[in-house]
């Protein structure tokens, strides 16, 4: 084997690998997918669920169309509600419905 032959073989393998990689990407990967640009997310309600699937927090509209944020304790014994539309903007209630704290 001549002195320059190993170098030629290495260069040919290197270039063949690059060309093969580019061609396989073009022909086998399909078309590129691009995300659509959105100006926002629209929904009537957003829920945060725990591992058991129970709603622990929610942001949404009630039946009267009033917006609110509700947070529940892990055991479900306390609920903190924030509402810009309700006369009592902040309410902390216990499981039985008794209001522990309310603020205008």
What confidence tens digit (pLDDT) does each residue in 50-64 have?
Answer: 888 888 888 888 777
What average pLDDT does the chain have? 79
Please give the pLDDT value at position 28.
66
Say what the pLDDT of residue 33 is: 62
pLDDT at 23: 74
- Give the whole-angstrom CA distance, residue 67 versus residue 60: 6
The pLDDT score that the predictor gives to residue 36 is: 72
Residue with the bigger pLDDT between 45 and 2: it is 45
CA distance 85 to 35: 36
Residue spans of alpha helices (H) in 1-104: 5-28
What pLDDT score was predicted for residue 27? 67
**Rounded Cα distance, 91 and 104, in Å:** 9
Indicate the DSSP class of residue 68: E
Q: Which two tokens stand for residue 58?
A: 């929610």
3-state SS assignment for residue 55: strand
β-partners of residue 63 are: none
């Amino acid at each position: 084997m001549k002195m320059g032959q190993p170098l030629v073989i290495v260069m040919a393998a290197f270039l063949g690998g690059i060309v093969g990689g580019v061609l396989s990407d073009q022909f086998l990967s399909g078309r590129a997918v691009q995300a659509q640009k959105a100006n926002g997310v629209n929904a009537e309600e957003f829920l945060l669920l725990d591992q058991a699937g129970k709603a622990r927090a929610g942001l949404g509209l009630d039946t009267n169309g009033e917006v609110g944020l509700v947070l529940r304790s892990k055991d479900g014994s306390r609920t903190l509600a924030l509402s810009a539309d309700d006369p009592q903007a902040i309410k902390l209630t216990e499981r039985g419905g008794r209001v522990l704290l309310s603020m205008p």
